[in-house]
Amino acid sequence: QKEVEQDPGPLSVPEGAIVSLNCTYSNSAFQYFMWYRQYSRKGPELLMYTYSSGNKEDGRFTAQVDKSSKYISLFIRDSQPSDSATYLCAMRENYGQNFVFGPGTRLSALP
Amino acid sequence: KAGVTQTPRYLIKTRGQQVTLSCSPISGHRSVSWYQQTPGQGLQFLFEYFSETQRNKGNFPGRFSGRQFSNSRSEMNVSTLELGDSALYLCASSTGTGTEGYTFGSGTRLTVV
């Protein structure tokens, strides 16, 4: 079992839909969480950075962390064709340690 | 503010050769992390440098090495290249204080033939 799992996708949604992207993990010591978006042939772009449990909102994006269930989510409201990309979650235990990445979920937001 | 710059963008090398990749982090950032990305394994951590010292190392063979200079620029070197080293190599920059996430460069795509 991998340390961080994601739904592999691809996930296809119509424009304007609400998208839910999810990660589960096995290491209960993880407390720093990130979400990245990666377009084809580009480096990952940081969307959200959160610490511990709770919600964080930034524009159309909401990150949710449930440490008791070892589960994090990224919600995208009013999805646009430009949201079509691979979404990666990443997490680490403490400052000074490396982030562990999930395998990514490919999203297609269709016009 | 300039982003993370990786050079070269593309490389083709022959098995057995060695290669050096370069990364210039965001100005003021002291931490540089290197990741290997392949379709099968995803993003795998290679190593992190902070203020010219290796702070963390992933589970890669000794053929993979790196260093960081006093201006925070970093290089990674792969010796005795194997076909399986073909990948996108990504460099990530941060302040190193743990208060924010990484900013990635566009990567160097290495093809070993």
In 10 A of CB A28, how many CB atoms? 10
Q: Quick check: A23 and A4 in contact, CB under 8 A?
A: yes
CA gap A110, B54 in Å, rounded: 44
pLDDT digits (tens, 9 = 90+) for A47-72: 999 988 889 999 999 999 999 999 99
Q: Which residues of A touch B24 (CB under 8 A)?
A: none
Residue B90 near residue B107 (C-beta atoms within 8 A): yes
> B35, B28 in Cβ contact below 8 A?
no
For the cut 90, the answer to whether the pLDDT of residue B1 exceeds it is: no
Q: Is residue A103 within 8 Å of residue A36, measured between CB atoms?
A: no
Count of CB pairs separated by less than 8 Å, A with B: 49
Backbone phi and psi for residue A63, each to the nearest 5 degrees, phi listed first: -105, 135
The CB density around residue B41, as the number of other CB atoms within 10 Å, is: 11
Kindly report, residue by residue over B52-109, the tens digit of the pLDDT: 999 999 999 999 999 999 999 999 999 999 999 999 999 999 988 877 889 999 999 9
Q: CB contact, 8 Å: A72 with chain B?
A: no
Is B4's CB within 8 Å of A95's CB?
Answer: no
Nearest CA of chain B to the CA of A55: how many Å? 16
Q: Rounded to an integer, what distance in angstroms lies between the CA atom of residue B112 and that of residue B16?
A: 9
Task: Give A-chain residues touching B31 at CB under 8 angstroms.
Answer: none
Mean pLDDT, range A67-80, rounded to an integer: 95
Collapsing DSSP to helix, strand or coil, B14 comes out as: coil
